[in-house]
Amino acid sequence: MLDRGARALGLNLTGAARDRFERFLEELLAWNDRAGLTSITDPDEVQLKHFVDSLTLAPLVVRHLAGGSGTVVDVGAGPGLPGLALAIVLPDLEVTLVEATGKKVVFLLHAIKTLALGNARAVRGRAEEIARQPEHRERYDLATARAVGSVATLVELLVPLLRVGGRAVLMKTRTGIDEEIAAAASALDRLRCVVDAVEPVAPPDLCETRVLVVLRKVAATPPTYPRRPGVPARRPLRQA
Ligand code: SAH
C-alpha cells in the first residue's frame, strides 16, 4: 500500500525506509490509546491517509531544498505527521517537530529513538512560544503543518520560524481553499509573505482531495508576531 503510493509520487522507498515505516505503524497503533494519536486505526488506512498523504510533501521539499538537505519544522506534529515521514525518506533533512501536548511529545521521542532517526528532534511547546526563542526564530528553510488550523492562523504560527526566503507549505483540503487564502490576505501582509503556489496533489486512492499551499517569506517578521499563545487561532489576523 505504502510502496504503491510512494511510487505514484515518484519516490523509491529503500529497504531501510520501508522497515522504519513498518515500525512507525506498529508503534503508532500500540501507543494510540495512551497518547490519543489518531482516529484512524486500520493499518491500510494509516498507510494511505497518514503516510502517503505526508509523503505528498516530499517532492516539493526536494524541489525547494537542493537535494533534500536543509532544515524543516513541523508545527503541531501530533504523532509525527508529516515530519517523521519526511525524515524517513529524506535522510539529509533535519526535521524539528513542534508539539504542544506532552504525551504526544513523549511518543515522538520514543518513535525517534525506536526508528533510530538521527535527523529528527521533538520540541515540546506552542509554536507561539518557540518562535520567540532565538534558537528557533527565523531559522528554518521550510515550515509545514497538517490539520492544525486555518491559513490565516498558520501564517502567524509558521512564518516567524522561517528565514527570509524560506517557504511555508500548508497541507490543506481543496474544498474552500480559495476563500481561506483570501481571508488570510491581511495575515500574509503583516507577516511579510506571499503565496507562491497552490498545488493540487492527488495521492492514489485517497478519497480526499488535497492541496499544498506554498508561501514565501519576503522580509523579516515584525517583532509583534506571533501574538500570545492561543490568540492566532482564536482571533486570526483580519483586514486592519
Ligand atoms: N499534524 C498531525 C496532528 C494534527 S492535530 C497530523 O496531521 O496528524 C493538531 C496538533 O497540533 C495537536 O497535536 C495539537 O496539540 C497541536 N497544536 C495545535 N496548536 C499548536 C500550537 N500553537 N503549537 C504547537 N502545537 C500545536
Q: What is the pLDDT of residues 9-64, one digit of tens each?
A: 889 999 999 999 999 999 999 999 888 999 999 999 999 899 999 999 999 999 99
Per-residue pLDDT tens over the stretch 71-86: 999 999 999 999 999 9
Domain 2-239, second-level architecture = 3-Layer(aba) Sandwich (3.40)
Mean pLDDT of 180-191: 97
Q: What mean pLDDT comes out for the span 87-93?
A: 97
136 lines ligand 1 (CB under 6 A): no
Of 121, 127, 213, nearest to 167 by C-alpha is: 213
In angstroms, what is the span from residue 74 Cα to ligand 1's centroid? Answer: 9
Atom of ligand 1 nearest to the CA of 76: 11
Tell me if 170 CB under 6 Å of ligand 1.
no
Measured CA to CA, the distance from residue 235 to residue 161 in angstroms comes to 20
> Tell me, what's the pLDDT at 68?
85
Question: What is the Å distance from ligand 1's center to 103 Cα?
Answer: 12
The reply to whether ligand 1 has any atom less than 6 angstroms from the CB of 158 is: no
Rounded to whole angstroms, the Cα distance separating 52 from 3 reads 9
Q: Which pLDDT belongs to residue 215?
A: 98
In the chain, % of residues over pLDDT 70? 96
Ligand 1 centre distance from Cα of residue 90 (Å): 22
Cα 179 to middle of ligand 1, angstroms: 23
Spell out the residues 6+ positions from residue 69 whose beta carbon is closer than 8 angstroms to its own: 92, 93
Tell me the whole-structure pTM to 2 decimals: 0.96
Any idea what the Cα angle at residue 216 is, between residues 212 and 217, rounded to 5°? 140
> What pLDDT was estimated at residue 238?
82
CA 28 / ligand 1 centre spacing (Å):
16
The residue among 128, 193, 211 whose CA lies nearest residue 155 is 193
